[in-house]
């Protein structure tokens, strides 16, 4: 699918992987709606994008009404054909803490709620708008790109909630693609490794150096622009569907 002339929603688009993807789509002629929290830099990011007509819609991805309002706004700008889900959180914690106390259930539920249920909430509402589109020249109505993590496969100590949420995204990729096949909406997922994002920048330098050294090739953090390049390729390649793609420099995470 050619992004030019299409409207794209990018969740978590105010920073990191989402901001890089929003910028790449805008460069290719898409009108981008950034969906991120009210406290984010979404408005500034939208203003900085190449071209005109881009917008910021503040919303929690778990909020059906706020997400529906963002989808409605997107459809008013043109045909909503692209959704890239980058919104997510990571709250580490062991099942049983050192003091013997169990992980608070609400901590586990919050991570799963944002990462998995929030992703599905945006998908269901955006997909409903996509299927109403007239088809493109290639017969497509829309394309959805989700963000999982290599933690879905190689979860480390303290990542039970994060791995479960990202594993859920991996697990629903194929059935979503099959659900939407008759409406010509494709669904794929990127599973990034260690990327240079604001979340990772909060780690001490010695920790970041050790993590980067563990990546086989290239031995560094991934760059948000590399994620954006893969997301754009998924959008543009009409035969890529129902797939989960690791983007990790051949990294396989150790237990800790």
pTM (predicted TM-score): 0.96
Q: Does 253 fall in a domain?
A: no
- The CATH number of the domain holding residue 86 is 3.40.50.720
Residue 217 domain flag = no
Distance CA 117, CA 122 (A): 9
Residue 203 counted as domain residue: no
Q: What is the DSSP string of 104-162?
A: PHHHHHHHHIIIIIHHHHHHHHHHHHHTTSPP-TTS--EEEEEE--THHHHPPTT-HHH
214 lies in some domain: no
Residue with structure tokens 């105010």?
14
Residue from 108, 162, 221, 227 carrying the catalytic annotation? 162
**If you ran DSSP here, which 8-state letter would residue 232 be given?**
H
Q: Which domain holds residue 184?
A: 7-195+223-246
pLDDT (tens, 9 = 90+) of the chain, 256 residues, equals 999 999 999 999 999 999 999 999 999 999 999 999 999 999 999 999 999 999 999 999 999 999 999 999 999 999 999 999 999 998 899 999 999 999 999 999 999 999 999 999 999 999 999 999 999 998 999 999 999 999 999 999 999 999 999 999 999 999 999 999 999 999 999 999 999 887 777 677 887 888 889 999 999 999 999 999 999 999 999 999 999 999 999 999 888 8
- Residue 59 maps to a domain: yes
SS3 category, 50? coil
Is position 207 within any domain?
no
Q: Is 162 noted as a catalytic residue in this protein?
A: yes
| 210/125 Cα distance (integer angstroms) | 41
Give a yes or no: residue 75 inside a domain. yes
Q: Please indicate, yes or no, if residue 202 is contained in any of the structural domains.
A: no
Domain tally for the chain?
Answer: 1
């Amino acid at each position: 699918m050619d992004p030019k002339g299409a409207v794209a929603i990018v969740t978590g688009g105010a920073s990191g992987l989402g901001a890089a993807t929003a910028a790449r789509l805008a460069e290719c002629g898409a009108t981008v709606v950034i969906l991120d929290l009210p406290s984010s830099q979404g408005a500034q990011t939208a203003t900085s994008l190449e071209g005109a007509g881009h917008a910021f819609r503040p919303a929690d991805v778990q909020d059906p009404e706020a997400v529906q309002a963002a989808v409605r706004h997107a459809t008013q700008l043109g045909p909503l054909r692209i959704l890239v889900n980058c919104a997510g959180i990571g709250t580490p914690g062991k099942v049983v803490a050192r003091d013997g106390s169990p992980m608070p259930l609400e901590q586990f539920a919050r991570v799963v709620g944002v990462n998995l249920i929030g992703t599905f909430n945006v998908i269901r509402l955006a997909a409903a708008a996509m299927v109403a589109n007239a088809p493109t020249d290639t017969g497509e109505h829309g394309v959805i790109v989700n963000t999982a993590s290599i933690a879905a496969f190689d979860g480390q100590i303290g990542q039970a909630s994060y791995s479960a949420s990202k594993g859920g995204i991996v697990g629903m990729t194929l059935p979503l693609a099959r659900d939407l096949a008759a409406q010509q909406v494709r669904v794929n997922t990127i599973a990034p490794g260690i990327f240079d994002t604001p979340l990772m920048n909060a780690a001490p330098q010695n920790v970041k150096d050790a993590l980067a050294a563990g990546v086989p090739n290239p031995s560094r953090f991934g760059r948000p622009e590399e994620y954006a390049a893969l997301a754009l390729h998924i959008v543009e390649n009409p035969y890529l569907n129902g797939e989960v793609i690791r983007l990790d420099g051949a990294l396989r995470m150790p237990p800790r």
